[in-house]
Structure 1
Amino acid sequence: MTLTIIPSFDAYVATLGRLTAHVDPTASSPNAIQIKKAADSLAELTSISADVLVDWVQENPRAVYALGLAAGLSHEKLKNFLKDHFNTQGWVLLAKNRPRDLIEVMDRELDLIRLVEVQRRRTYDFGDLLTARAGSRAIAARAGQSGRKVEDEIELIAQDVGLKCEPRTRFVGRAGRDAPCDLAIPSAKSPVIVVAAKGFDSTGSKLTDAVREIVEMAEVRLPTQFVIAVIDGIGWKSRTADLRRIYDLWATKQIDGMYTLATLDAFRDDIEHAARLRGLL
């Protein structure tokens, strides 16, 4: 059964909002301050060599991240690089316990010594700044935070209604098949209500993946199970074809509800109604 009365697609799109606040790119942060200090420290060295960098990382083990940035590695790529070569992502311990191995591998694989030497003496202009910012992945971490914001909101509502729930899991449906969900009520093994929470302020393949997950939920569901989607974020406004695919599942009653953060009052009423129908309350 469909719960809330279905609005037009345009009316639904109008309720989408931004999940993450705009960030002033000129504002400082603890992480930025640490990177700046590491860069200043590297710039003050009289020369760059393997021996010099070995001593430097021993004195500044947390600043290995800055060496990764100098070699073109993001935070995540640096962790993956270390995991691949040292079977650990912990650069602080590596800098303390195996500094020479760390520097030698980074130099051999990433040309670290040359890159640090070239970049620390270079004078950068405004165009360099904007180019670096365009390639930055700093905003990527906020994409995950925006998605988690939607997940956290629906979990809090379920708990406030008095329902047991299991977040970020897979639920069992028709013929023992399972599908992903961001919230299963009351549990993944005995799901009555399953919810997809998909919040994105940016665009990309992750939105298409979100659609695929919700389609899979609709295909696996039992007739006695409620499938609900909570979707928000301005990224969907640039991927309206993907959003419409989910909306069409709602319009054709293959899922039971579709909400945004602006319509969570209806979400709350509907999961409470569904829970009462199935004897959970």
Structure 2
Amino acid sequence: MPVPTFEELLGTLRPMVPPADLLAESELQTTVREVSSELASLPEITVDALTEWVDARADAVRVLGLAVGLGQERLINWARHHFNTGGFGVLAREYSREVVELLEAEHNLTRAINQGRGVQYTYSDILVTRAATRSTAKRAASAGRGLEDLLEEIAVDLGLKYSTRGRFTGIAGRTAPYDLAIMDANGRPVVVVGAKAFDSTGSKLTDAVREVEEMAQTRLPTQFVYAAVDGIGWKGRQSDFRRLHALWAESRIDGVYSASTMPEFKDELVKACQRLGLLGA
């Protein structure tokens, strides 16, 4: 296919992070809601009462952590530090009193719960809490992997032997990274793809371009190199995206494709694999 203009290529980019459905209830949210309701209904909040409650409820440790402001990662690290385990079930079964007593000593557990049980929350309180959460970061972390999944699906659909996340050997024995590689009959990468999806900006986009440039500099004349990119983060780093476009325009790589142009990438991959003798005409 003809190389699109920079503006045309930029126009194919779409957000990779799915919008948050703030009204959807996950299994974890349902569990926390149920356990929190039990905690709110306890007749009294004392170390003894909480110990007895934790004994009967493995998920209680998670909720006690939330009550004093410890999210899952911080709570697990705290538990590993004190008890050499991050398993909430183990903590509830074997260390219920110790957990409650330490949370009380270090975080004023009973005071925090009693204060929380007596507060009526407003809509603004909910929005403030959302502003402090890291849910978007979690969804963003899966964005690049989602693009790799699309590439892998194409390889599977075409019946090609492939590898993910490795390094290939090219000119003068040099190596470079890839996110997906199509292998020849001897297990050598002959088509390599770098998958670079970002919805936020930053130096990581410059690093991503350097990786694709490294792939271009390393490949043999018989190897094909593609970049799969997406995400609106590139629109905030257009100088980096221009470098990617230039690699294609100067025939240093064989194409730059986004999620919306994956059908075109599949057609180009078929042609490349036919030339390599990996697919019939």
TM-score (norm 2): 0.82
Letter in 2 for 1:35: V
Q: Which residue of 2 aligns with 1:239?
A: 237
Supply the distance in 2 between the matched residues of 1:12 and 1:263 (Cα, whole angstroms): 10
The sequence identity of aligned pairs, in percent, is 46
Unmatched runs of 5 consecutive residues or more in structure 1:
none
TM-score (norm 1): 0.82
* Shift, 1:70, TM fit: 3.0
Contact 2:15 2:232 in 1 (8 A): yes
> Using a 3 Å threshold, how does the CA distance of structure 1 residues 186 and 130 change in structure 2: closer, same or farther?
same
Match of 2:95 among 92, 98, 117: 98
Alignment of 1:1-281 (within 5 A): 4-107=1-104, 112-186=109-183, 190-203=188-201, 206-281=204-279
Contact 1:171 1:189 in 2 (8 A): no
> Using a 3 Å threshold, how does the CA distance of structure 1 residues 36 and 252 change in structure 2: closer, same or farther?
same
Q: Rg larger in 1 or in 2?
A: 2
Write the deviation string for residues 55-78 of structure 1: whole angstroms up to 9, x where unpaired.
Answer: 333322124333333333433444
* Shift, 1:49, TM fit: 4.0
Supply the distance in 2 between the matched residues of 1:255 and 1:106 (Cα, whole angstroms): 57
Taking only aligned residues, the RMSD between alpha carbons, in angstroms, comes to 3.0
> Using a 3 Å threshold, how does the CA distance of structure 1 residues 41 and 206 change in structure 2: closer, same or farther?
farther
> Using a 3 Å threshold, how does the CA distance of structure 1 residues 148 and 38 change in structure 2: closer, same or farther?
same
Give the SS at the match of 1:231.
Answer: strand
Give the SS at the match of 1:192.
Answer: strand
Supply the distance in 1 between the matched residues of 2:76 and 2:215 (Cα, whole angstroms): 33
Contact 2:12 2:260 in 1 (8 A): yes
Contact 1:172 1:189 in 2 (8 A): no
Contact 1:195 1:230 in 2 (8 A): yes
Contact 2:219 2:225 in 1 (8 A): yes
Number of residues of Structure 1 aligned to a counterpart in Structure 2:
278
* Shift, 1:263, TM fit: 1.1
